[in-house]
Structure 1
């Protein structure tokens, strides 16, 4: 099994490799984004207050996912590189330390959710029903976040060893379970209690935990490139530092999405609660489009990392070119969809006339930037695979913080429609920075790229 995975990442034609490794991850992440949309679509049918509560709680989920992704990037890079260098014991140690780190993150977020969940939601609104629903949602998703962190670890073991079909299976299981449990627990169908937004949170965490258990079973049963053994395990400081060193910039990069959402909620709330609800809806629609690109990003990390470990720099450049072409094709199709069909997209969430008046022009303005974002994200995946997470973080800072937030706050003084022009501006600058950093990376001597 190990030899098959090594041959695929080290010898399969680059274009075919990109497609065969990326496609299962793309499909699984599309389904994951779909069940996020299903969550909000069901919640919107409770009330707009319920949709606002979930939108206000969403940054907490984004922050947890950001930490899980950062940890996953660190595991992915170190594990694929160790396998490329034929260091099996080191690869096994990376895997076990990744599990240990994920449990630590779960404990931290469970404590934060219990202690500060209500305070976080109440900082945005004084509407009692929104505060209660939002607090309940945050408490459930943080205390049961073991599913998030351990599921990410199990999936990264599959990705790093080239077993992306198994990754797709676990994602599909989680997505299908969530879609089944959502209406049962939200509306109290059959023997299930009517739990509203709390039911939406429970559906999410139960699906994640079940998928996580199945993911680890698949790794133990079928993924023989990584050996998971609890007996004799001791945390390894050097490996943990390595995972954190590589993964922290990626975690910070993803955390910017959470920070951006918090700041956008603060900017939009003075306009109207509907504006906040729209942004929560839009983010999940955008996330559905971006998921294939994030899937491509995830697939690039082990492909680049493996070939870097094997010193195959010619393959790295060809893999990058194939990934950019695929990314541009996906985002061009997404641009057409968002430009031509904003009303049907918003109607999925029971959008009011007020939300349509805000959302239709906003979606069409932001969609201008999708192709630029696709190139930036793909180049970031290549740089992460080389261990250059700092360069990837720099691009994300430009796209999601340094440019967009000042522009949003400035344009909010003009009008609500003007706010949305901040996003194309930020993506244009981020695109230029991504190209510059990648070209500089390509010009560096190979021995300096992992620094």
Structure 2
């Protein structure tokens, strides 16, 4: 496949052609998150609480996979744009091997820590038991997650977004179908409760990996995984982790944030912990599609940066920002107009619904302005500027929001947490604009991008 279309095709149709498959797959993934939680909620409120408490560690494992994948994507796209095919093949091969290693480590570490981790947030033995059962099964598939993400990012780096979309959609659809069958024991399937939800997730991930293997074998991408590229290459490995580590930390920061906010909210009522968990399920309908646009943008902006097409780099960023802001505006309207309906999908408890309505209306005030941070962070990752991207995420998920929430809860109670969200997004957007301009603006005048990677 000739990747030169990434610097020759008009920018807007190029972004749409690359992003649309990812937005569709992210929407299906969002639907899975909602459906999965919907069925788990039918088991009982303890089950959805357990799911909410497991989320930070589950997100951490996913962050390691996706974050390293972002580094893999950026390095491959950069070298392809610079015409360095062998370097791109070496990056793909080393990245694949490292992904296997990451999966083994993630499973070995995450499974044993779950019981003590859950005890930090609840004294309910039932919630702890449900959380341990769910997490043990889910984390057993960690190596599958890591390998799947390596394939996904390799396909994306060469512009094969449809292959990536097919893999993601297959896993989500299999999961959605199996969820009610395994949770409630429909037909010949055993009634497994929360264990069934975890197993459905794992089988969905295996389905994604199997499809990627078939697609890779049937039509190999222009970048290949081959043992002849396994020879040691410190420069390539450094680049993979130079972008991958900050990207992984970026994605892991919500785990720190959710754990911190759960600790604050639990001191008021378990209802607020449930509301926070439900919010994070609902917000995937906005941030995952927005992330789909950013995923479509990353290989394009990285390729053009490597090819020194600096005017196109700026145009790619601007168009992505407008598209992302449009999605966020839609989410704001939805949360203001139908908060009770959204929360009501996960609980029948009137107190939880009332608390959730108020939370959604307050939090949504920061949606549109967050598009600046989302776009800037994703663009910087695509340009190989992982540290600068990390600065933006630290502001959004730790440095501003956690202290703000701590102070505001002393004044406004649980509502202080919800207000901390929009305050953090507003401040972070200003910082993001400054960081992006400083990190990238001056570089776009240079004739060769290679020296900056």
Deviations along 1:267-287, one digit per CA (max 9) or x if unpaired, are 111111121111111101012
Structure 1 segment 35-46 matched on structure 2, within 5 A: 35-46=32-43
Instruction: State the match for 2:252 in structure 1.
Output: 255
Matches within 5 A, 1:60-75: 60-75=57-72
Name the counterpart of 2:442.
Answer: 443
Q: Aligned match of 1:124 in 114, 121, 124? A: 121
Change (3 A) 1:232 1:82: closer
RMSD over equivalenced CA pairs, Å: 1.5
Match of 1:421 among 410, 419, 424: 419
Q: Deviations over 1:387-414 (max 9, x none)?
A: 1111111111111111100111111122
Aligned 1:40-55 pairs, distance under 5 A: 40-55=37-52
Q: Aligned in 2, Cα 1:234/1:137: closer, same or farther, shift over 3 Å?
A: farther
Structure 1 portions without partners, runs of 5+: none
The whole-number CA distance in structure 1 between the counterparts of 2:233 and 2:34 is: 39
Indicate conservation of the 8 Å contact 1:25/1:167, yes or no.
yes
- The count of corresponding residues between Structure 1 and Structure 2 is 448
Q: Map of 1:157-236 to 2, 5 A cutoff?
A: 157-230=154-227, 233-234=230-231, 236=233
Contact residue 359 and residue 418 of structure 2 kept, 8 A = yes
The unaligned stretches of length 5 or more in structure 2 are none
Residue aligning to 1:275: 272
Structure 1 distance, partners of 2:109, 2:193, is 23
The structural deviation recorded for 1:115 is: 2.0
- In the aligned structure 1, how far is the partner of 2:147 from the partner of 2:29? 16
CA distance in 2, matches of 1:224, 1:255: 30
Does the alignment pair 1:22 with 2:22?
no
| 1:432 corresponding residue in structure 2 | 430
CA drift at 1:166: 1.1
Which residue of structure 2 lines up, in the alignment, with residue 76 of structure 1? 73
Distance in 2, Cα, partners of 1:342 & 1:407: 24
Q: Is the 8 A contact 2:15 2:297 kept in 1?
A: yes
TM-score, structure 2 normalization = 0.96
CA–CA separation in structure 2 for the residues paired with 1:195 and 1:112? 25
Q: How does 1:8-407 map to 2 (within 5 A)?
A: 8-230=5-227, 233-234=230-231, 236-407=233-404
Residue 422 of structure 1 deviates from its aligned partner by 0.4
1:232 is displaced (CA, Å) by: 7.1
Secondary structure of the structure 1 residue equivalent to 2:5: helix
Task: Give the secondary structure class of the aligned counterpart of 1:27.
Answer: helix
Per-residue CA distance 1:179-235 (angstroms, 9 max, x = gap): 011111111112222111111111111101111121122123224312223467445
Which is worse superposed, 199-208 or 81-90?
A: 81-90
Query: SS at 1:412's partner residue?
Result: helix
Counterparts of 1:383 and 1:433 in 2: how far apart (Å)? 14
Deviates more, 1:113-122 or 1:373-382: 113-122
* Shift, 1:135, TM fit: 0.7
TM-score by length of 1: 0.96
Query: Aligned equivalents of 2:283 and 2:49: distance in 1?
Result: 18
For 1:32 and 1:151, the matched residues in 2 are separated by 15
In 2: Cα distance, 1:417 partner to 1:227 partner: 51
Distance in 2 (alpha carbons) for counterparts of 1:214 and 1:105? 21
List per-residue Cα deviations over 1:275-303 (Å, max 9, x = no partner). Answer: 11111111010122111111122122111
The question of whether the paired residues in 2 share the 8 Å contact of 1:76 and 1:302 is answered with: yes
In 1, the alpha carbon distance for the partners of 2:311 and 2:185 equals 57
Query: Once the 2 structures are TM-superposed, how far is the Cα of residue 423 of structure 1 from its aligned partner?
Result: 0.6
Structure 1 Cα separation of the partners of residues 221 and 139 of structure 2: 32
Quote how far apart the aligned CAs of 1:81 are: 1.2
Return the alpha-carbon distance in structure 2 between the equivalents of residues 325 and 91 of structure 1.
Answer: 31
Q: Distance in 2 between matches of 1:71 and 1:83?
A: 18
Q: For each residue in 1:314-363, what CA deviation from the matched residue of structure 2 results, as whole angstroms up to 9, or x when unmatched?
A: 11111111111111111111111111011111111134101111110110
